[in-house]
Structure 1
Amino acid sequence: MAPGFEEVAEEFERNFTDRGEVGAAFAAVRDGRPVVDLWGGLADRATGRPWRQDTLQLVFSGTKGLVAVCLLILIDRGLLELDAPVADHWPEFAAGGKGAIRVRDVVSHRARLPGIRSPLVEADLTDPRNLAGLLAAQAPDPDPRAGLVYHALTYGWLAGELVRRVDGRTVGRFFADEVAAPLGLDLWIGLPAAYEDRVSTLEYAPGWGAGPAADPRQLADDALFHRIWRNPPIFPTDHIPWNSRAFHEAEIPGAGAIGTARSIARLYGCLACGGVLDGVALLGSAALEQGRSPLAEGTDPFSKDPMAYGVGLQLQTPLRLLGPAPDAFGHDGAGGSVHAAWPRNGIGFSYSMNQLRDAEPVDSRRRALLTALWKATEDR
């Protein structure tokens, strides 16, 4: 813990003593150097396995930020252009009248493909090639709300297939080769079997289901809601498929990344420093600036929350999902996790945990940590 960041550690402790945290990690880097590296609690409540320094956590939609980095690398190399039709790289995508849909639409939740129309079962979520094919064959959703709505899982299959079509590697392989290896990250989209015993076990908080993804009032008669959140149910209440080896090893580029908070903070620390860290030039400044420039802004029709997106990256909104910094960019994840960069402060951070909550618009655990981190960085 760097001097001046003691209040962050105090809030991390209060998450356990006052806010019911089960297991968690929080890390931050400033100007490329670690300033916060905290972990504690239980990685598995049933067995009593403690959360250790190397415990890995699934971060759900935090994955979208990692996929965004892959897209930005391709943009930086001149291999992908935001205004190009998706079908230029993926000819089958033109089916169903989608020939005019551009890359910028896919990466900013405006592709009008927020859900898959074909009936799916849980196991289908682990087959990204098949799901990308179903999306390629599908017509744009005619529901007017589909013009800007959170593509909870389909963002990943669309963006991941774009990476594969442009580069030849799957998005998980691309991320491993081009991002994780150069920066020395314990972070994967598609976890190798050798690391399985380090993964924490997810659990639902008491009262899970208050959020829009599980709201039965919308499920009953809203076809668009059903396509996004219930085909199949992303978070079935009777079990958590995301704890299975099948889900861990699959490349689920909208929700399946697994890693340490320390590694995710290092990645965002690199982005906060302009895309260069410890001699690794991950991205050029022009591509990074393009990535964090607004492409879509509005209100999600289901959560009613403000939305703002660059190239796959969440941008700051009045909700302050990414902490107090006005220039923040990154991505949060279902259940409470959050991962982002604060460029003005040179900060990259990651908060990950294994008890999933959805009762608050902004999880009180992460709010406390990010408020303390902001105070520490603004004071120094």
Structure 2
Amino acid sequence: MWEQVAEAFARNFTERGEVGAAFAAYHRGELVVDLWGGTADPGTGRAWDRDTIHLMFSGTKGLTTACVLLLVQGGQLRLDDPLSRYWPEFGAQGKESITIADVLSHQARLPWVDAGYADLLDHDAMAAYLAAQAPAADARAGFVYHPVTWGWLLDELVRRVDGRTVGRFFADEFARPLGLEVWIGLPEDLHRRAATMVAPDGVLVDGPWTELNRPNPLWIPGSEKIWNSAEYRSAGLAAVGGYATARGMARFYASLIGDLDGSRVLTQETVELGRRELRRGLEPNWGSPMRYGAGFELQTGDGRMGDAPDAFGHAGAGGSRHGAWPHREIAFSYLMNEVRVGPDDRPLTLLESLSRGSRATGR
């Protein structure tokens, strides 16, 4: 019943120009799809193999969300608490009422850093800039995607509450107990396994910039030099610095919707809290529909997470997809090293074939 997924994966190479990729899925806690192929490093010709690790960009947000939710589950914070309760400096410039839920659902009105990004890989510096910054005055900024700042805000929250970085917290509380090939900040001895990200000419954005559309330092011409640097791989940016195998990410989402080997980290009630809708509407820069829970992207009419009405997870820039369909007991992850902008059939065709396979099981 899952063979059609492998066929769709192969067609992405023959019909859609895939360079290197992996796709994995769990069903009822069992790995049922585990595919990889193509080229991990076009510069050297290194093949993508079973152990290739990949940068997920915003797929990382699902991991950081889980860390925050575990602190909620343990009674160490509440989603409706002001962020400044745990990070007093953040209350400057009229930000004292911004809640943790606001940050998780991209409503903090801090989608960029006024001070710039010269210290992009220095968490302490970037968190301090955001603490001192006033929220954007334009009301539309209340629902602008926070691609990178989201991570500094929530990483600082975890540090203030728990003492560990998000990367260390995730490793200790999720990756190690669940046996996940997933990291927020890649250990140096694993850099050799990382795929090289590819940004074709013309794919990244080079202005013009508007009051609501400021340059993302990781999505402008030449950014691939940052993505593929050892410094970036090690930095552990909580919004965009996660690395994984597709098998590892599918296993992570499988752990959110059921037991793995008889255990789970987040309870069903906690996951349902994370999936509770906090905001929906059109993202003003993209003009596309968005729905957010407490950090997770929720299903929208465009079916970016497949056709399951209860789908949740998080996409990554350039085309990757990571998430789950709870009713069907399916979890999945798609990773690729050639980033694309705009309509992209690669993840959609895989999720369509996965959906057909799940229907064949009666779910």
Distance 2:263 2:192 in 1: 30
Distance, in Å, in 2 between the alignment partners of 1:238 and 1:101 is 34
Give the Cα–Cα distance (whole angstroms) in 2 for the partners of residues 332 and 364 of structure 1. Answer: 14
State the one-letter code of the partner of 1:365.
R
Contact 1:182 1:280 in 2 (8 A): no
Aligned-pair CA distance for 1:215:
5.4
> How far has the Cα of 1:107 moved from its partner?
0.8
Gaps of 5+ in 2: none
How many residue pairs were aligned? 360
Are residues 1:364 and 2:345 paired? yes
Shift of residue 239 of structure 1?
Answer: 4.7
Q: CA deviation at 1:235?
A: 2.1
2:222 paired residue among 223, 238, 254: 238
In structure 1, the residue matched to 2:197 is 202
Q: Is the 8 A contact 1:23 1:42 kept in 2?
A: yes
What corresponds to 2:261 in structure 1?
Answer: 278
CA contact (8 A) 1:208 1:359 kept: no
Q: 1:137 maps to which residue?
A: 132
SS at match of 2:117: coil
SS in structure 1 of the partner of residue 35 of structure 2: strand
What's the secondary structure of 1:307's corresponding residue? strand
Counterparts of residues 74-89 of structure 1 (less than 5 Å): 74-89=71-86
User: Is the contact between residue 247 and residue 333 of structure 2 (CA under 8 Å) also seen in structure 1?
Assistant: yes
Residue 307 of structure 2 corresponds to which residue in structure 1? 324
Please give the residue correspondences for 1:37-56 in structure 2 after superposition, counting only pairs within 5 Å.
Answer: 37-56=34-53
Q: Take 2:124 and 2:222, find their aligned partners in 1: how far apart are those partners?
A: 28
8 A Cα contact 1:128 1:251, kept in partner: no
SS of the aligned residue for 1:277 comes to coil
Q: Does 1:158 align with 2:153?
A: yes
Q: Distance in 2 between matches of 1:90 and 1:206?
A: 42
SS across alignment from 2:107 = coil
- Contact 1:115 1:224 survives alignment (8 Å): no
1:151-210, CA deviations, whole angstroms, 9 ceiling, x for partnerless residues?
Answer: 01111111111111111100000000001001111111111101000000000135413x
1:258 paired residue among 226, 243, 246: 243
Partner of 1:18: helix, strand, or coil?
helix
- Report if aligned partners of 1:125, 1:252 keep a CA contact under 8 Å in 2: no
CA distance in 2, matches of 1:178, 1:239: 32
Tell me how large the CA RMSD over aligned residues is.
1.1
The amino acid of 1:54's aligned partner reads D
TM-score normalized with structure 1 length: 0.93
Deviation per CA, 1:325-376, whole angstroms, max 9, x where unpaired?
A: 110000000000000010001011000000000031xx20001000000011
C-alpha distance in structure 2 between counterparts of 1:207 and 1:215, whole Å: 9
1:63 paired to 2:60: yes
Structure 1 position 313, deviation (Å): 0.4
- TM-score, structure 2 as length reference: 0.97
Give 1:93's match in structure 2, choosing from 86, 90, 95. Answer: 90
Amino acid paired to 1:110? Q
- Alpha-carbon deviation of 1:129? 1.8
User: For the residues of structure 2 that align with 1:377 and 1:285, how far apart are their CA atoms?
Assistant: 22
Following superposition, which runs of at least 4 residues in structure 1 exceed 2 angstroms of deviation? Answer: none
In 2, the alpha carbon distance for the partners of 1:264 and 1:79 equals: 26
Q: Does the 8 A contact of 1:188 with 1:257 survive in 2?
A: yes
Pick closer, same or farther for the CA change 1:83–1:285 going to 2, 3 Å: same
Q: Distance in 2 between matches of 1:346 and 1:47?
A: 39
Q: Using the alignment, how far apart are the partners of 1:334 and 1:255 within structure 2?
A: 9
CA distance change for structure 1 residues 106 and 239 in 2, over 3 Å: closer, same or farther? Answer: closer
Given that 2:13 and 2:19 are in contact with CA atoms closer than 8 Å, whether structure 1 keeps it comes out as: yes
What residue is the counterpart of 2:285 in the other structure? 302
Q: Which residue of 2 aligns with 1:190?
A: 185
| 1:342-357 correspondence to structure 2 within 5 Å | 342-357=325-340
Q: Tell me how far 1:320 sits from its aligned partner.
A: 1.1
